Amino acid sequence: MFISLFSENHIIRLKSITSTNDYASGLVKSNNPAEGTVIWANSQTAGKGQKGNSWESEADKNLTFSFILHPVLINPSEQFLLNKAISLGITDYLKTKINTLAVKIKWPNDIYAGEKKIAGILIENEILGNTLETAIVGIGLNINQLKFSDKIPNPTSLALITGMESDLQHVLFQVLYKIQDRIINFYNNDIESINDDYLNDLLYFKIYKKYYYNNREIEAMIMDVSEFGELILRTKEEEVIKCSFKEIVFLHS
């Protein structure tokens, strides 16, 4: 069903697993899996989010999967471009289902529908010298879940937005198609469109919002994202701030 990166023959379907990223990591260490191998679990008991956070997902309701890339032609310094390409693949899919203006990327790679989070991405790279040997890409995408834990601050799902239930396997294939298109663009060195589209889809891009940074509240506008993935903001006082993940907090208005 897929060409180039993904193949139905390389989809591993699991009923329950601690983490699809951990399972993929084990495969890389022991089995030399083909690029495009997908690990899809109906349920994760210890799903992983960014910087040690957890990812909660109701069993059999959402998509929790990982896939393996061997992007050896990509310089490790360009690894954030891979993050951009994958984030855009997910927004490309969601825009076929809901209002395109509502679909945004909250830096660095949370996917939002309006002001609510619908998907998250965790990319774990293995670098050897000047080579990006392996990238394990974990994705959690809320599809049919209607109720969420109070511990999750602002979740939503495709079903909550559209009022319709979706076939998980069909959605998986469609999401992989969209991600594949973006990754192929990246491999073909179509960097300009990836950078431009990422900024255009970035939540709060060129809009003044409140943030907590360096032990103080600021009001600033996102101006750009550096090649290394740093967020670049400008305050109303014309101060330019460049920060990495976890150095700044988005404050709700």
Task: Please report the beta strands in 97-207, taking only residues with DSSP state E, as ranges in sequence order.
Answer: 103-106, 110-113, 116-128, 131-141
Residues in contact with 150: Cβ distance below 8 Å, sequence separation at least 6, in sequence order: none
Least confident of 23-27, 44-48, 92-96, 106-110: 44-48
| 3 has pLDDT over 80 | no
Strand, coil or helix: what is 14?
strand
pLDDT band at 55 (very low <50, low <70, confident <90, very high): low
Give the pLDDT of residue 6: 87
| Angle subtended at Cα 124 by Cα 119 and Cα 127, rounded to the nearest 5 degrees | 150
pLDDT band at 153 (very low <50, low <70, confident <90, very high): confident
| 54 has pLDDT over 70 | no
Mean pLDDT of 101-107: 96
pLDDT band at 245 (very low <50, low <70, confident <90, very high): confident
Per-residue pLDDT tens over the stretch 14-31: 999 999 999 999 999 998
Strand, coil or helix: what is 224?
strand
3-state helix, strand, coil in the chain (%, to 5): 30, 35, 35
Give the whole-angstrom CA distance, residue 187 versus residue 87.
15
Give the whole-angstrom CA distance, residue 243 versus residue 229.
9
**8-state DSSP, 18:** S
Domains and CATH numbers, the chain: 8-200 (3.30.930.10), 208-250 (2.30.30)
Taking residue 54's Cβ as centre, other Cβ atoms within 10 Å add up to 13
Residue of higher predicted confidence among 46 and 154: 154
Give the whole-angstrom CA distance, residue 119 versus residue 110.
6
Average pLDDT value over all residues in the chain: 92
Mean pLDDT of 185-209: 94
pLDDT band at 48 (very low <50, low <70, confident <90, very high): low
End-to-end CA, the chain = 45
Give the pLDDT of residue 2: 45
